[in-house]
Amino acid sequence: MLDETATPHRVLVTGGAGYIGSHVLHALADAGIPAVTIDNLSTGRRAAVPASVPLVEGDVGSAELLERVIRDHAVDAVMHFAGSIVVPESVEKPLAYYRNNTVNSLTLMDACVRLGVGNIVFSSTAAVYGAPDRVPIDEATPTAPINPYGTSKLMTEQMLRDAGAAHGLRSVILRYFNVAGADAAGRTGQATPTATHLIKVACQALLGRRPALSIFGTDYDTPDGTCIRDYIHVSDLADAHVLALLHLRRGGESLTLNCGYGRGASVHEVVRTLEEVSGEKVPATLAPRRPGDPPQLVAKADRIRERLGWVPKHDRLDGIVRDALAWERSLT
C-alpha cells in the first residue's frame, strides 16, 4: 500500500468517465489512491468509473462546482482530462475547442490557485508539435501545431507554466502520442461509438459495426504512403499518470514529458496486425487526406523513463490490438 493512502486528500480527476480518464481512475484505485471525478457524461460513461470513486456530474467550466468539489473532498491534486479531442472537428469548430479545452482549463487553474491545490497532471498531446521535420520527436522539438486542437492544448500548457512561475502551481504535462488498447481485465475501454481512433474504428469495421475503415491518405511521404503514429497502450499511459502524481506529491519539479514508445506503425501495418490477431479481413476503403493530419509522429520518450521511472508493460502492437478487439467484442 502506498503512503499516500494515509492522507485524507483526494485527487480530482476531470473527465474520469471517459476513455483515458477511466483507465487512470482504475489505476489510482489499484494503487490505493483516493480520487473523485467530475464528468458531464457528454462522451463518458458512468459505468466506466470504479465503484469506489465518487462521480460528480457537471462541467469543469463551472467555478462554483469546482470550488465545492475541491473543498468537500480535500483535493490536493488534479488530473485534467476533460476536453475535446477530434482533430478534424477542431478545424471545423475552432471556437468550441478553445472554449472547452483552453477556457475551461483556465477556470480550473484559477480554482486551484485560489483554493491552494498545488499539483496538476495535464493531459496534453503530440499535436502541439504539428508536423515536425524530424523524428523521433523529443520535448525540445519546436511546438508548431497545425490544427486548433493542438493549439488549444499548447495554450493550456503555457498557462500552466505561467501559473507555476507566478503562483507556485506545479505541473506534469504529459504529451500523448496515439493512445489505444483497453484494460486487460475488461473493466473499461474506448466505448464511444463514433470515436475516431484508428484501432477502435478498425475493430468496429472488422466486427461489422461500421461498413468499412476509411484510410485517409495513401500518398504521404512514408514507406507505404499512410500516416505513421506511435501507439501507446492506455494502461501504460495510466501508469504514467500515477507516477506523475507521486512525483508532484513528493515535491518534484514541474515537467513536460512525451508519452510514447519511440517507434511508429503505419495505418497499413495496424490493419495487417489486426488481421493477423483476428484471422479475419478488415473491410477498408481509401479516402482523401483529412485536414490537420501530419505524416508522421513518433516520440523520443527517454525522459519519462528517466524522470518518473516509467517502465511500459504493454508495448507490443499485437497486444494493443488484441486488447482493443477483446473490449470491442464485449460491447453490446
pLDDT tens by residue, 246-265 = 999 999 999 999 999 999 99
Which pLDDT belongs to residue 308? 98
Which pLDDT belongs to residue 196? 87
Query: What's the one-letter identity of residue 17?
Result: A
Q: What is the CATH number of domain 8-179+232-260?
A: 3.40.50.720
Instruction: List, by residue number, the catalytic residues.
Output: 149
- Spatial distance between the Cα atoms of 278 and 265, rounded to a whole number of angstroms: 18
Residues 179-223 have pLDDT tens digits of 999 999 999 999 988 888 999 999 999 999 999 999 999 999 999
Which pLDDT belongs to residue 1? 33
Which pLDDT belongs to residue 233? 98
Q: Given pLDDT bands bounded at 50, 70 and 90, which one contains residue 8? A: low
Over pLDDT 70: what percentage of the chain?
97
Element (H, E) at 30: helix 19-30
Which pLDDT belongs to residue 131? 87
Which pLDDT belongs to residue 293? 80
Which pLDDT belongs to residue 6? 42
pTM over 0.85: yes
- Spatial distance between the Cα atoms of 316 and 145, rounded to a whole number of angstroms: 28
All three cell numbers of 106, joined, read 483556465
What's the mean pLDDT in 151-172?
Answer: 98
Pair 213, 271: CB distance under 8 Å: yes
- Spatial distance between the Cα atoms of 255 and 88, rounded to a whole number of angstroms: 29
Helix axes 148-167, 104-115, angle to 10 degrees: 20
Which pLDDT belongs to residue 201? 97
Whole-number Cα distances in Å, 169 to 152, 242, 247:
20, 18, 14
Where are the chain's structural domains? 8-179+232-260
The answer on pLDDT for 5 being more than 60 is no
- Spatial distance between the Cα atoms of 82 and 328, rounded to a whole number of angstroms: 23
What's the mean pLDDT in 32-54?
Answer: 97
Single out the residue of 172, 61, 159, 78 nearest to residue 116, CA to CA.
78
Cis peptide before 88 (omega within 30 of 0): no
The answer on pLDDT for 90 being more than 60 is yes
All three cell numbers of 244, joined, read 506523475
Residues 16-41 have pLDDT tens digits of 999 999 999 999 999 999 999 999 99
- Spatial distance between the Cα atoms of 203 and 97, rounded to a whole number of angstroms: 28
- Spatial distance between the Cα atoms of 25 and 154, rounded to a whole number of angstroms: 25
Q: Given pLDDT bands bounded at 50, 70 and 90, which one contains residue 133? A: confident
- Please give the mean pLDDT across all residues of the chain: 95
The answer on pLDDT for 122 being more than 90 is yes
Q: Given pLDDT bands bounded at 50, 70 and 90, which one contains residue 7? A: very low
Please name the residues in contact with 53: beta carbons below 8 A apart, sequence gap of 6 or more. Answer: 13, 16, 25, 28, 29, 35, 36, 37
All three cell numbers of 69, joined, read 468539489
